[in-house]
Amino acid sequence: MDHSEQRIKIAVQKTGRLTNHSVDLLERCGLKVTKSKDQLICYGENMPIDLLLVRDDDIPGLVSDDVCDLGIVGLNVVEEKRLQEEQKGSKGMFKQIFELDFGHCRLSIAAPENVPYDGPRSLENTRIATSYVGLLTDYLKKNDINAEPVFFSGAVEIAPKLGRADFICDLVSSGGTLRANGLTEVAELLQSEAVVIQTLAPLGDAKQALVDKIIQRLDGVLKVRDSKYIMLHAPRAALAQIRELLPGSEAPTVMPLEGSDDRIAIHAVCRENVFWETLENLKAAGASSLLVLPVEKMLA
Ligand code: PRT
Ligand code: ZN
Instruction: List Cα–Cα distances, 196 to 173, 219, 248, in angstroms.
Output: 20, 12, 26
Q: Looking at domain 3-102+194-223, which of 3.10.20.600, 3.40.50.150, 3.20.190.10, 3.40.190.10 is its CATH number?
A: 3.40.190.10
- Can 3-102+194-223 and 105-192 be said to share one CATH topology? yes
Q: Look at residue 300 in the predicted model and tell me its pLDDT.
A: 72
Residue 120 DSSP class:
G
Specify the CATH superfamily of domain 105-192.
Periplasmic binding protein-like II (3.40.190.10)
Ligand 1 near 53 CB (within 6 A): no
Instruction: Delimit the domains of the chain by residue range.
Output: 3-102+194-223, 105-192, 228-294
Ligand 1 near 74 CB (within 6 A): yes
- Which one, of 77, 83, 98, 106, lies nearest residue 215 by Cα? 98
Which residue minimizes the CA distance to atom 31 of ligand 1?
Answer: 171
Task: Report the percentage of the chain scoring pLDDT > 70.
Answer: 98
Q: Look at residue 5 in the predicted model and tell me its pLDDT.
A: 66
- Which one, of 114, 151, 158, 157, lies nearest residue 130 by Cα? 151
88 versus 102: the higher-pLDDT residue is 102
> Ligand 1: which of 75, 102, 173, 174 to mutate, judged by most atoms within 8 Å of the beta carbon?
173
Q: Identify the CATH class of 228-294.
A: alpha beta
**pLDDT above 90 for 39:** no
Quickly state the pLDDT bin for 130 (edges 50, 70, 90): very high
